[in-house]
Amino acid sequence: MTEPTVPTPGKRHGPRYGLRALAALWLGKCAGTILRFLGREGTHVPGRIALWVYPNLLGVIARPDTVIVVTGTNGKTTTTNLLADALHTLGKRVSTNRAGSNLRDGIVATLINGVTVWGRCRSDVAVLEMDERSALRVLPQLAPDIVVCTNLTRDSIKRNAHPEYIAWILSSAISPATTLVLNSDDLITASLGSDANARHFFGVDPTGNEPREPGGSAVDAAICPRCDERLDWIFWRFNHIGRVRCPACDFRSPVADVRVSPIDRLSGLRSLTIDSGTVGIRLTNESVVNIYNVAAVAATLDVLNVAPQKIGSVVESLTPPTSRFAEETVGGVRLVRLLTKGLVGVAVSRAFADIVSVPGRKIVLLAIDETTDRFDGVENTAWTYDADYEYLADPSISAIYVGGIRRHDQALRLALAGVDSNRIVLVESETRGADLVPLGEVDVVFNLHSNHNAGPTGDVVHRKLRQRLMEKSS
């Protein structure tokens, strides 16, 4: 059977499908309709079925004029959602895998959903989250116009190697014609691609309070890639995120084209600098991780030639998905729901640092054991020693309720981090702590969960705490 002509990547095109490709498209659409009827959104199954029928479908399926891929260790789901929301606000018809089915099957399922039954594209732009390990299977056929990389840091010990290896995978799959939007404060991310790629950098300016020497459990970039001299830090934020210069050669962190400044305490605004223009913005979530996500969105919109003032007004309206972050005050107590990406020490450290930065008396409910491991494997718990549990030894935290099957592993790590054993409460169920935690003398309650238990644990804990706080205030 003769293969159909592969269309020009990144350009909308009419159907050029053979019968087998059309059959794959129709079966994928049927599977998607059935799954939506059953209430199962965001699944990769339609893509898997379609690829089983026609393995080359990703290379021929119609796509929008602009295809954007978002990848990285942390923040890619949030950045994908924020960018899709921003483009929708700007009047674009957007295809996106919002629920995070970010392997090849899920990306194909999203593209199938974005075309008509005869395979004609219905969208102006595709914003596709991609797992960084999938690059070699996705990018050569997809050939996106823009690749956004949030960061490359240590990930799950079970599935990912050193971030420099992941960077090699990505660079091996990126076309020279692709524009890269990269984190300038991450040396590993900033090195992606080749000299042929157009690069657009984003960053977050220092507050002046960051240290000049790295600390914590994990620092993965400390040596100059040109001359092997030990790097000097202009400022250090976490892991290898910060800005550096080499004392022996002219190597230094790239200059960011799009930057977000520290908050002005009088106005409550941050400055968003885009090339030489500056606009004031107010963000709904002030965590440093979210600020980087917003900077990535702003830099991508800049590449798409959106005016700086328009970018400022759009990013101000963006809110992270509630499955990642949600906050409300009930009965005078702040209830904060915070995704804590289990198995990934750097992401966990960021969540713990956010807790300490919040003023007031705090209680933490900790349930970050991965539910999927109960059925198909056991994660090496060494990742907990890549995470800075030492943050949770802060005296402002009166108690930490630890639930789930790895509660004893978590308790050991907390004890080794210096947390008073009298403040560690073990409960068998991941959700039971929400029934037991004392709410009488507390200002903030943190509900920490991981990706895979966001629904069965994060949602349930939030409802229970909210109900108890409402009853207490009535």
In a domain, 49, yes or no: yes
In a domain, 400, yes or no: yes
Residue in the block written with tokens 């929301």: 85
In a domain, 29, yes or no: yes
pLDDT (average), residues 184-200: 96
CA distance 307 to 283: 19
> Do residues 363 and 398 lie in contact, with contact meaning Cβ atoms separated by under 8 Å?
yes
- Nearest by Cα to 74 from 100, 47, 110, 96: 100
In a domain, 220, yes or no: no
pLDDT bin (cut points 50, 70, 90) of residue 255 is very high
Residue 150 and residue 70 share a domain = yes
Q: Which long-range contacts does 212-216 make (Cβ < 8 Å, 24+ apart)?
A: 212/236, 214/240, 214/242, 216/349, 216/388
| Whether the predicted pLDDT of 40 surpasses 90 | no
CA distance 86 to 68: 13
- The pLDDT assigned to 2 comes to 34
Domain containing 356: what range? 325-473
Joined together, the tokens standing for residue 427 give 């409960």
In a domain, 94, yes or no: yes
Give the chain's mean pLDDT: 89
For position 436, which CATH number holds? 3.90.190.20
- The pLDDT assigned to 470 comes to 92
Residue 453 and residue 426 share a domain = yes
Residue 461 and residue 377 share a domain = yes
What is the tally of structural domains in the chain?
A: 2
Q: Which residues partner with 9 through β-bridges?
A: none
List CB contacts of 186: < 8 A, sequence separation 6 or more: 151, 152, 153, 221, 240, 241
CA distance 247 to 80: 37
List CB contacts of 367: < 8 A, sequence separation 6 or more: 402, 403, 404, 430, 431, 433, 448, 449, 450, 453, 457, 458, 461
CA distance 376 to 374: 6
Predicted TM-score of the model (pTM) = 0.88
Residue 350 and residue 284 share a domain = no
CA distance 86 to 291: 15
pLDDT (average), residues 7-35: 74
Residue 167 and residue 123 share a domain = yes
- Give the domain-ending residue among 269, 294, 316: 316
